[in-house]
Structure 1
Amino acid sequence: MTIPYHLFETAIGWIGIAWSERGLTRVQLPERDRAATERRLLATMSRISQSGEPSQQTARELPANIVAAVDEITRYAAGEIVDFSDIKVDLAGINDFRLAIYDAARKLGFGETTTYGELAQRAGHTGLARETGQALGSNPVPIVVPCHRILAAGNKIGGFSAPGGSATKEKLLTMEGVRVGPPPSAQASFGF
């Protein structure tokens, strides 16, 4: 099995993506440089493989749907209002609970936030805020499934599993015009 992937430079740093015939399977937010982003992307691709070690390959020619996804992510990183609902994702192997959470998150528009508890309710899983946070923490396609738009109770920033943690989450929200609670103390690993 060969998993194609591609790295591209954006205003917020190098982003990596991987895909199948059905859609994006992975979005890797920026690390400190291209090489670090590629290493993290390949490591996560290896961990999610269900049939042994996949063969990863940098794509020489991108399919039209992937060119469109790269364009939309690049424009988003430059601060443009982008709606990712047209980007197909391949979430094969993910359980029904997480699929429901990701689907509910994808319905949030640019600059729209909600809490983990509210998102759980929207997804039909009232009372499962903690589990919702765990599902979002393992979101394989951040930005496209906008897990950064989900806040802790009281509209506090909450956690974020991407490089830079909560500081990165806050910067993504700031790009969308959203201001929340006191700023996190950690610095994001990419400077935008």
Structure 2
Amino acid sequence: MLGRAYIIFDTAIGRCGIAWGQSGIVGVQLPEAREIETRRRLFKLYPEARETRPTPNAEAAIEGIVAFLRGETVDFSDVTLDMGGIRVFDQRVYQITQRIPRGETLTYSEIAVRLGASGALRSVAQAVARNPFVVIVPCHRVLEAGGYADKMSPHGGLVSKRRLRSIEGAGSSANKTLLDVLLPVAPPRPPG
């Protein structure tokens, strides 16, 4: 396989996308309001990617994302991520984020302290916002001080951190965001 590829796939919350290259997964896109918008976002992020069948690594990531979005506990440790082009600081943030257990959270400042850079709160927040590996690198488990969790990353589509934490069983229905109320969980679309 030369270059990058992508595929759109069904989940409990709608049609997601994933892109990969020879070195691993390069990005995950959670659903936008319509599938065409999810495709546009992927095209904007990875214009050279072509739609094709997933590699075994991409298939493992897809299966994990589908299971996660059904509320299952998932281990993504066998999924290879392509960190080429990712800033070294961001990679370090993602390594810490990947070790946050299901149902638990850290704040931006707690990650900065773990990095030995307690003054890097803003840099940590920016790294989390740039996370192209949504769900695989669980940025929804990284919150602002006070537990605020309504932010959405560019790769999160219309799905908020709070919604992802709720799927994980970490939030209560009382904590739903307006978007979660307006965009209820959609049943998976039949293939084809």
Q: TM-score if structure 2 supplies the norm length? A: 0.85
Of residues 156-165 and 24-33 in structure 1, the stretch that sits farther from structure 2 once superposed is 156-165
1:191 aligned onto 2:184: yes
Pair 1:144-2:144 in alignment: no
Out of 101, 107, 110, the residue aligned to residue 115 of structure 1 is 107
Query: Could you tell me whether the CA contact under 8 Å between 1:28 and 1:142 is conserved in 2?
Result: yes
Deviations 1:3-53 (A, max 9, x none): 11011010011110011121100100111122211111111123xxxxxxx
Identity of aligned pairs, percent? 36
2:108–2:121 contact (8 Å) kept in structure 1: yes
Counterpart position of 2:34? 33
Work out the number of aligned pairs and report it: 180
- Higher relative contact order structure (alpha carbons within 8 Å, sequence separation ≥ 6): 2
CA contact (8 A) 2:31 2:158 kept: no
Q: Report the Cα distance in structure 1 between the residues aligned to 2:30 and 2:152, rounded to whole angstroms.
A: 12
Q: CA deviation at 1:84?
A: 1.6
Moved over 4 A (4+): none
Kindly provide the amino acid, as one letter, of the partner of residue 11 in structure 2. Answer: T
Task: Write the mapping of 1:42-191 to structure 2, written as runs, cut at 5 A.
Answer: 42-46=43-47, 54=48, 56-59=49-52, 61-157=53-149, 159-161=151-153, 162-164=156-158, 168-179=160-171, 183=175, 185-188=177-180, 190-191=183-184
Q: Aligned with 2:86: secondary structure?
A: coil
TM-score, normalisation: structure 1:
0.85
- Residue aligning to 1:15: 16
Q: Secondary structure at the match of 1:24?
A: strand
CA distance in 2, matches of 1:160, 1:36: 16
Offset of residue 157 of structure 1: 2.0
Deviations 1:146-186 (A, max 9, x none): 11111111222252223236xx2111101112138x74653
CA contact (8 A) 1:83 1:110 kept: no
Query: In angstroms, what is the RMSD of aligned CA positions?
Result: 1.9
CA contact (8 A) 1:75 1:82 kept: yes
Partner of 1:98: helix, strand, or coil?
helix
